[in-house]
Structure 1
């Protein structure tokens, strides 16, 4: 798997790329070297089954490496962005309105070059048959080398390269007189994420105004405004308040003990989410309010603060601030694009037209149980922004006696986990299943040596809490020292001594009895969960199976392994919104983009045997969805044996008529030998991502005996698992 470096590592040095983060160590950065004639980029290659990563070199003169299963750029959201017709038409109209004569246009974060070509066409300099105009030119700046290679192909096919100068650098590396002949008269850009600022918008604009643009330049977009709304939502509350939800479980396990409520928490930041998917679970407690305004036509400030007085429109408890932004693309204020949720009624809210995944709403969690308010009451919201993020502090205008924070000091140790992981750890049903499975396993061993192979702090605490005679060896491959420090902090509250718990500080590829104090492992446990792998495909958590294989030399003959096996499950789905966002491209506002389809992992109109890759999504956030079949088993992974190649097939009959766009795939983990405890990660479970295999062409399906002529009533699914790569290959035949 090849993973582009995320902008999250250093937003001020953003790659200007719409990248879905798969996995990346926070200490690693993009390394680029240049010679007189070529550029080389070091790209991180990650092996999901081993957790190993290595740098590979991408040379400007070499083809971008791809695997048969996953093209390098398939995990980005470029494709989804280019399929956003509202965005594309808004930019075209604004550029045509702004670029009315030959001038110098700078496009920052050029991507496939769509905005550059729009600008060149608007001033007539992109027409290869037109008379060459030396006054009109476009500088397309794109820092990500694999995208630059694609950009050049798109330019060539459209005959638009004559007056478009492509520069493979970050915009803050450009120098007037060296890279560009003069300052630009017009800036066009699309360096926006769901929060607005996360791709480095502010530092990019600052440098551009200081070094690359004329005084008072024309810009597209012209302005961006952020808005917010106070909401009550149990669904959102569960994603961050582990202390309250854990207290309801009453099972004796204390991941967040009293007085240490925030020792295990989510990061204080905005989280991108499709809030439309939980509209029925959200209670609006205020009218929408304006927060910040960012003008692209002038140099922005690095930091800003505002104080808002917001009147409650209903009684309730504020669990979150839901935010979005509205883009004004032209100076006159006639062309807009909005990321507002569908419940916002506004003539400029274009979000009701197309579902898209590259821009969502954002959610800021209010600490603890939230803040109670009464209708008509006024509350104070302090909002602030840095160069790359926006944050909030919600306080009542009149102080209340209710405590929403605990006694943990900000400088004390805290373990930061994703919201979905916090929700899982607070889920009573999930905790009961894990607790029961571990208790049953421990009852079969007197003084067991237990190894927790993954990053499950719950499993480690659970074993140590339930058994005073067990010795626990936790590998914590992702958490490492942070996991060890966390255990030391909560040990007393959970009634165990660290004398019986050991965290292995060093990763190994070969295990001996010296590592386990000359004792064989009696119990091997995982959830499985690997810190930092939250955006990966479900079967990439079969890393647990790989770990089990590596540990084989030190496992006892009658070792108990939990989970005992994984079952790959699937369901035929109607996913029109997701399919349309990933469909192959043809003409975009008059420019041919068919050349990008294979590289970006598109579905539809691909040359056989090319198929789109399987990609991870939260199915419940994928717009319109409908199950068209019963859930069926594809294949099983037996953890009692070393990892091996697996095959499976299933004949699936459709239970509902409709249009089949693909299959949702996930793993159910069988925790015990009796197959009585099964933890599912399917679409009805919101806290796990499923794998989605989209069809090249949607198929009309019907039910057996009632299908009309031309409708398929069943499909044969065949799958294989490759233990060397961790890939699952899915084939399907409709009948």
Structure 2
């Protein structure tokens, strides 16, 4: 059996389907990209679940002769094995049914359960819990204990409400004798001021007076109204809480309200603001009562909400549960001690919030046309200033009258029209029709004195390149995933038969890298080995095999969300330089590099990115901003996580091979040591 997988072809700028002759590829890809390993590295999660399981079984065993545990979404079988271990200490007869809809994971669960000697106590069924039949699947043996970890960043995004509701209705004994781990949940939000978070949501004007370019209100929220998943602990210094934590929704998993298809809507009145500011966003998190007494807790509370500073500094890092960022329809200025009303809504899978005065406007569910990082790219002041400086240098030559813009970025063409209204700007329409519509709407809402036209193709009846003085690009294309995917700009240039005699902006690109010791990011690919004294090596073996078979050696990550040791282990190393004026044709270049290690540490990752030369001595980065030693927020970086982290000392070298296949448009990389 054969299958296909998708990748970005930077030569054509399109996603393409690549033939893979492996009947297991689709399963392996899902396994490799799953967050199972990250969950299993979550020590706090595992410990609190086991504490609650032991306590619940101990409580039930005092009144019941038989305990039947249902483990929903068993994964590796970890929670089922915890239950089996606890049940062995009771005199009750017992049975454990573990369900896992993802068949490759169900097979792994069976192997882990057998490895630990619990195969005669746990039955694994590979189907959804909502599809279980009491008679045929459970032989009429009703459940009196449910264990489930079916939560995501929003708590309910994986269908937790229906999962618990259906199990309680159709598979269990009466609720008085039923126990669920976890028992209850509360969703909290906090009102925060954060111009930084607003950068990921609302397009900023190019100038205060909106002299020429004016962005209409309905073009400002191109990333839509969906949740922005973010580890808010990493941006603590870029937000300011304006209220205390607000409990919004309460869920008792034994009695989930399934009226109106699990929807709930409420207005919380008189929420007090603690200080002056502007409500730019809502930070959302949740907390679980793991047992019915609420003695054992597990949640995603942000670090700044802890009274105990030591606990705040040692908060559990996790990737599978982070924080949700939501936005009001309009930011709202408030004063200290002012009271506001909070509108809150949830359906079966998602949440929505707004703040203001009643009546609230209708809920707005705007679809996403741009990524959050692309929104940040439009708004980032440092990036804007680099473009302004570059344009000022480029247009200091008065011989430039007619320019051509290529790419999906909105910032650069609008900046040119804002700064140089005398320039005729020809804009090659994006393949993203939504961006074309947005650009047209902005231009139609702007000054009538602007000189521009949009063209659908490069064909000569649309544009004569011999009459173009300058070609510009950010470069940015919405289909790009890794930083160098935006080199599609280079391929568009060299598809033309005319010589590139005009000025180019940017002129060159360089791919760079640095060796790092991540504090936590490497854990998403690290083997688990043992978890709570249970051997999960069958899981490690399967995940490692899947990753080696299907994963790209370099993956995209937004590194501003992940801390790493300071100082970095190495200086920045230049790997490849590309002059956009040169045609490299089918050249394949791969060279050996020794990365000098300048600090002691454990190298567990190498980060890659691309810089663009806008003008002589003026470079724009998509990686480390050297001015403030921080990662750019407006682009994902490429990351290679080492399968075996290396202990390094200053003076040592890390050997790699890196290069570029210009025919395929592929970055080439492998480690040597």
* Shorter-chain TM band: 0.7 to 0.9
**1:457 and 2:410 correspond:** yes
Cα distance change of structure 1 residues 313 and 249 upon mapping to structure 2, 3 Å threshold? same
In the TM superposition, residue 184 of structure 1 has moved relative to its aligned partner by 3.1
Cα distance change of structure 1 residues 171 and 373 upon mapping to structure 2, 3 Å threshold? same
Mapped contact 1:463–1:472 kept (Cα < 8 A): no
Q: Distance in 1 between matches of 2:170 and 2:505?
A: 59
Residue in 1 that maps onto 2:528 = 585
Q: Distance in 1 between matches of 2:326 and 2:19?
A: 37
Residue in 1 that maps onto 2:265 = 305
In the TM superposition, residue 86 of structure 1 has moved relative to its aligned partner by 0.7
Cα distance change of structure 1 residues 134 and 96 upon mapping to structure 2, 3 Å threshold? closer
> Of the candidates 339, 342, 362, which is equivalent to residue 300 of structure 2?
339
Q: Distance in 2 between matches of 1:560 and 1:169?
A: 60
Q: Distance in 2 between matches of 1:251 and 1:434?
A: 19
In the TM superposition, residue 731 of structure 1 has moved relative to its aligned partner by 1.2
Q: Distance in 2 between matches of 1:43 and 1:166?
A: 30
Larger deviation: 658-667 or 381-390?
A: 658-667
Mapped contact 1:75–1:615 kept (Cα < 8 A): no
Mapped contact 1:209–1:299 kept (Cα < 8 A): no
For residues 353-396 of structure 1, the C-alpha deviation after alignment (integer angstroms, 9 at most, x for no partner) is 4211111122222455x322222222221222111112212115
Residue in 1 that maps onto 2:427 = 472
Residue in 2 that maps onto 1:201 = 160
In the TM superposition, residue 545 of structure 1 has moved relative to its aligned partner by 4.3
SS in 2 for 1:202: helix
Residue in 2 that maps onto 1:278 = 235
Cα distance change of structure 1 residues 678 and 92 upon mapping to structure 2, 3 Å threshold? same
Q: Distance in 2 between matches of 1:662 and 1:194?
A: 26
SS in 2 for 1:87: helix
Q: Distance in 1 between matches of 2:2 and 2:668?
A: 29
Mapped contact 1:232–1:319 kept (Cα < 8 A): yes
Residue in 2 that maps onto 1:507 = none
> Of the candidates 487, 491, 495, which is equivalent to residue 439 of structure 2?
487
In the TM superposition, residue 95 of structure 1 has moved relative to its aligned partner by 1.9
Residue in 1 that maps onto 2:115 = 157
SS in 1 for 2:71: strand
For residues 625-650 of structure 1, the C-alpha deviation after alignment (integer angstroms, 9 at most, x for no partner) is 32232222122344432464332443
For residues 310-364 of structure 1, the C-alpha deviation after alignment (integer angstroms, 9 at most, x for no partner) is 2222222222222211111111222111211111226898894421111112222
Mapped contact 1:112–1:150 kept (Cα < 8 A): yes
Q: Distance in 1 between matches of 2:542 and 2:110?
A: 13
Residue in 2 that maps onto 1:377 = 338
Structure 1 unmatched runs, 5+? 1-39, 505-511, 705-712
In the TM superposition, residue 276 of structure 1 has moved relative to its aligned partner by 1.6
Q: Distance in 1 between matches of 2:598 and 2:351?
A: 46
Residue in 2 that maps onto 1:614 = 554
Cα distance change of structure 1 residues 602 and 280 upon mapping to structure 2, 3 Å threshold? farther
Residue in 2 that maps onto 1:104 = 68
Residue in 1 that maps onto 2:42 = 84
In the TM superposition, residue 501 of structure 1 has moved relative to its aligned partner by 0.5
Mapped contact 2:80–2:96 kept (Cα < 8 A): no
In the TM superposition, residue 120 of structure 1 has moved relative to its aligned partner by 3.5
**1:730 and 2:673 correspond:** no
Residue in 2 that maps onto 1:421 = 374
Alignment of 1:390-409 (within 5 A): 390-395=351-356
SS in 2 for 1:695: strand
Alignment of 1:523-538 (within 5 A): 525-531=472-478, 533=480, 536-538=481-483
Residue in 1 that maps onto 2:139 = 181
For residues 153-182 of structure 1, the C-alpha deviation after alignment (integer angstroms, 9 at most, x for no partner) is 434433444443333333333334344434
Number of residues paired by the alignment? 643
**1:636 and 2:581 correspond:** no
**1:122 and 2:86 correspond:** yes
Mapped contact 1:521–1:555 kept (Cα < 8 A): no
Q: Distance in 1 between matches of 2:338 and 2:253?
A: 36
Residue in 2 that maps onto 1:326 = 287
Cα distance change of structure 1 residues 654 and 611 upon mapping to structure 2, 3 Å threshold? farther
Mapped contact 1:338–1:351 kept (Cα < 8 A): no
Q: Distance in 1 between matches of 2:471 and 2:501?
A: 11
For residues 593-616 of structure 1, the C-alpha deviation after alignment (integer angstroms, 9 at most, x for no partner) is 22333554599xx99x99994333
SS in 2 for 1:355: coil
Larger deviation: 612-621 or 319-328?
A: 612-621
Larger deviation: 627-636 or 443-452?
A: 443-452
**1:317 and 2:278 correspond:** yes
Residue in 2 that maps onto 1:236 = 197
SS in 1 for 2:303: coil
**1:354 and 2:316 correspond:** yes
Q: Distance in 2 between matches of 1:521 and 1:595?
A: 64
Q: Distance in 2 between matches of 1:89 and 1:573?
A: 30
Cα distance change of structure 1 residues 624 and 263 upon mapping to structure 2, 3 Å threshold? closer
> Of the candidates 92, 99, 108, which is equivalent to residue 140 of structure 1?
99
Q: Distance in 2 between matches of 1:425 and 1:699?
A: 38
SS in 2 for 1:500: strand
For residues 492-516 of structure 1, the C-alpha deviation after alignment (integer angstroms, 9 at most, x for no partner) is 3154789820346xxxxxxx94785
TM-score normalised by length of structure 1: 0.76
Mapped contact 2:569–2:597 kept (Cα < 8 A): yes
Q: Distance in 2 between matches of 1:164 and 1:380?
A: 50
In the TM superposition, residue 446 of structure 1 has moved relative to its aligned partner by 6.9
Mapped contact 2:192–2:241 kept (Cα < 8 A): yes
Cα distance change of structure 1 residues 304 and 238 upon mapping to structure 2, 3 Å threshold? same
Structure 2 unmatched runs, 5+? 625-629
Mapped contact 2:165–2:254 kept (Cα < 8 A): no
Q: Distance in 1 between matches of 2:504 and 2:405?
A: 10
For residues 207-228 of structure 1, the C-alpha deviation after alignment (integer angstroms, 9 at most, x for no partner) is 3333344432321111111122
For residues 256-292 of structure 1, the C-alpha deviation after alignment (integer angstroms, 9 at most, x for no partner) is 24xx364444322432212222223332222222111
Residue in 2 that maps onto 1:215 = 174
Q: Distance in 2 between matches of 1:643 and 1:307?
A: 62
**1:692 and 2:653 correspond:** no
SS in 2 for 1:317: strand
Cα distance change of structure 1 residues 262 and 558 upon mapping to structure 2, 3 Å threshold? closer
Mapped contact 1:45–1:56 kept (Cα < 8 A): no
> Of the candidates 28, 32, 42, which is equivalent to residue 74 of structure 1?
32
In the TM superposition, residue 87 of structure 1 has moved relative to its aligned partner by 0.6
Residue in 2 that maps onto 1:430 = 383
In the TM superposition, residue 530 of structure 1 has moved relative to its aligned partner by 2.9
SS in 2 for 1:484: helix
Q: Distance in 2 between matches of 1:289 and 1:269?
A: 20
Residue in 1 that maps onto 2:250 = 293
Superposition CA RMSD, Å: 4.2
In the TM superposition, residue 81 of structure 1 has moved relative to its aligned partner by 1.2
**1:51 and 2:10 correspond:** no
For residues 182-210 of structure 1, the C-alpha deviation after alignment (integer angstroms, 9 at most, x for no partner) is 45332221111112122222233333333
